[in-house]
A and B are shown apart, each in its own frame.
Chain A
Amino acid sequence: MSQTLAEKFYYLMKLGREFEIRCKEEYLKGNISGFLHLAIGEEAVHVGAVVGFGKGDLFCPYREHVLALARGMDPRLIMAELFGKATGVSKGKGGSMHLYEPKLDFFGGNAIVAAHLPHAVGAAYARKLMGEKAGVLCIFGDGATNNGTFFEALNMASLWEVPVLFLCENNQYAIGTHISKSSYLKDLYLKAKDYMPAVQIDGMDVFEVYKAVVEAKQYIETYGKPYFIEALTYRYEGHSMADKGDYRSPREIEMYKKRDPIDLLLQKSFKEGWLTEEQVKLIDQKVEAIVEEAVAFALASAEPSEEELYTDVYCGVCSDVIP
């Protein structure tokens, strides 16, 4: 691992963490509404995966702020979207769960569990048909692996030989139901191993996530076939801001916080000499300024105009390729 990578990881994970802590505050102030799902505690998976995957289409679940930030989405446009403003990345019509930017190959933000898995398979099929090599990254939670669409998507991806990296972030809870009550198989990668190479990794260690994703990307693009990673992780907050998360003992949460992904990254980076205290301080200042600017931008932005209610339902355009 290089110094540059450690610096990049720290910057993105810290940005994700601080951005979401601020989201929580703005939610409590009433500036953000609706369902707000925070990824605090899961940053190593999100940052390690997006950085490791590099170029390629990205399909995400509703817990996607950090994924969007890691992909390079403008924090101001994300915050404005959360505030429901016209300047938001989805014009204030999507909110927290629906961030889209095709220019960044970022295709949501989907709020129906497992529904975006077939989208990723279709996207990979299309890329392959058009002669492009780039694979597709599809991220979803442990809850999705109990849904029929999950198995449909795995089957089709393997059958059609399309380059999708299925990345399951296993935080052990489907809202308030522990995995022991929802899944017969406890090791979720076993659900995929008969379809494709499937591994289980430590999702709290960004270096491990990065390494596994780089390898997986190489595999899917070399062989044009799918691959599965289960990353073991934990969310500190409730499922969304509407959920206190009190079905878990404080002891359990504290135990996971002892292996906080940002702390782990710093410990390792200091030990290896990849980062200095001074660098960290500078990054922290930069992150603070970015988050502050994002909130200021969102606050200053206008509400969508009334006409926007009716736009974007249809585009109404016809292609003229077919005579």
Chain B
Amino acid sequence: MLYREALNLALDHAMEHDPRVVILGEDVGFYGGNYKVTEGLYVKYGPKRVIDTPIAENSIVGTAIGMAMMGLRPVAEIMTANFAMLAMDQIVNQMAKLRYMSGGKVFLPMVVRMPQGVAKQLAAQHSQSLEHMFASVPGLYVFCASDSISAYHGLLYAIRLDDPVIFLEHVLLYSMDFPFQKVENFDPFKARVLKEGKDITVVSYLKMVHDVLKACEWLEKEGISCEVIDLVSLRPIDFETIYHSVKKTKRLVVVYEAPKTCGFGAEISARVSEELFYFLDAPPLRIAGEEVPIPYNRKLELMAIPTPEKIYQQILSWGKRHGL
């Protein structure tokens, strides 16, 4: 099942069973969504529950907050995470804070969905990975989905939660086809071990997970066995699963598309170093984006982010330096 079809299925299922669920965003209704995630829902549930909005990101999230305060369960779509920067007041100052500031009196059962990451030559204002900006804010849950199973179940879980959730998707995943099956008791707070291994723990999420899996296939041929962990929640992070794996492998690599500085690699490797310093056989390795805005030119664009080849090479040379 295509990733976007899995998201659509989750939205359809939620709307069918709970009349409080509404969708709002730019082009989500009549047009069917710019990435076709909401396709068909406008016809099925009508314009009152699948709401086309003006290009006003701050008030898309703001009105969703008002709806949630009254007991609806809005799912707001922001066309891309880049545009969510216009909604940072509502996301950071409002959505994340209202429950705490009200001493627990205000409930915000709402989801803000958005894709992020490098697609193909969309240039600097359409290509960012900004998960660390949301994940640094207490009061938000930040989920992300790397395949159709986590897309379907993660989104459904987010809609069921009485707390606000930022739900991150990746632009390149929408048209990717993944095996799909419904899973009993899917828990987004539990990271998924996609592949077991004994030499290195590689932590990643969203689209990079697939680049990591490819690189790890090649590394296996070099005799390096990788355990691959896919984070489904970026706030909170399931450190237990990471620690459990690193205790076994004694080596940590974190792969992500955002620029290296102040990203998830910093957080995860710092925590692992704090907790498991004497277990480690090598300093943690971060493989991440370059410290540049994403360029338009395809060659430069690919230079700016990790690729399976780069992941393979960097892990190989780092491994060699540290006794693998």
Contact = CB atoms under 8 A, between A and B. Distances in A.
Interface of A: 57, 59, 88-94, 98, 100-102, 107-110, 112, 115, 117-127, 129-130, 148-149, 152-153, 155-156, 159-160, 311-323
Q: How large is the interface on B (under 10, 10 to 19, 20 to 34, 35 or more residues)?
A: 35 or more
Nearest to B139: A313
Interface in B84-110: 89-90, 93-94, 98-107, 109
A115 B70 contact: no
Contacts of B160: 318-322
A115 B72 contact: no
Contacts, number: 169
A16 B207 CA distance: 56
B106 A107 contact: yes
Given A129-B48, A313-B139, A314-B141, A122 B106 contact: no
A209 to B, nearest CB: 24
A112 B156 contact: no
Interface stretch (B1-9, B60-68, B172-180, B219-227): B60-68
B99 A107 contact: no
Interface stretch (B51-59, B196-204, B262-270, B286-294): B51-59
Contacts of A94: 101-103
A118 B65 contact: yes
Contacts of A155: 54, 56
A161 B7 CA distance: 30
Contact of B69 (A122, A152, A320): A122
Interface of B: 13-14, 17-18, 20-22, 48-49, 51, 53-54, 56, 58-59, 61-74, 89-90, 93-94, 98-107, 109, 138-139, 141, 156-157, 159-163
Contacts of B139: 313-314
Nearest to B55: A152
A102 to B, nearest CB: 6
20 contacts: A90-B101, A90-B105, A91-B104, A94-B103, A109-B101, A115-B89, A118-B90, A119-B63, A122-B62, A123-B66, A123-B67, A125-B67, A126-B71, A152-B56, A156-B59, A159-B54, A160-B51, A312-B99, A317-B163, A318-B161
Contacts of A109: 101
A223 B107 CA distance: 29
B99 A112 contact: no
Contacts of A59: 66
A133 B109 CA distance: 23
A119 B100 contact: no
A152 B138 CA distance: 27
A118 B59 contact: yes
Contact of A123 (B69, B107, B156): B69
A175 to B, nearest CB: 18
A200 to B, nearest CB: 25
A107 B105 CA distance: 9
Nearest to B102: A100
Contacts of A314: 99, 139, 141, 163
B103 A93 contact: yes
Contacts of A129: 22, 48-49, 72
